[in-house]
Amino acid sequence: MLKLRIKKLLEEKGITPAKFSRVADIPTTTVYRLINDENYAPTIVTLHKVASYFGVTVDDLYEEVEDKAE
């Protein structure tokens, strides 16, 4: 299963979700959904904004995790 690693990236950069929302021009509710909602499917535009801010590719925004059902 793939999971967005936005929370880790924010911690590494030392930025709060609210500040990230402002500087990356992404609604605060979207940022919190990116962090907390495993079922949230962001738009490609949002993914590109996030990747651009962190200087990574869209693929780098995801990490593989064990499926909880296993």
- pLDDT for the residue numbered 29: 96
- pLDDT for the residue numbered 69: 62
**How many CB atoms within 10 Å of residue 47?**
18
Question: What range defines the domain where residue 45 resides?
Answer: 2-64
Joined together, the tokens standing for residue 15 give 């930025």
User: Is 69 within the bounds of a domain?
Assistant: no
Tell me which DSSP letter residue 37 carries.
-
User: Mean pLDDT, 10 residues at a time, over the chain (70 residues)?
Assistant: 86 95 95 91 94 94 76
Q: Are the beta carbons of 47 and 65 closer than 8 angstroms? A: no
User: Is 25 within the bounds of a domain?
Assistant: yes
Give 3's strand partners: 63
Q: What is the CATH number of the domain that holds 31?
A: 1.10.260.40
How many domains are there within the chain?
1
Burial class (CB in 10 A: 0-12, 13-18, 19+), 20: buried
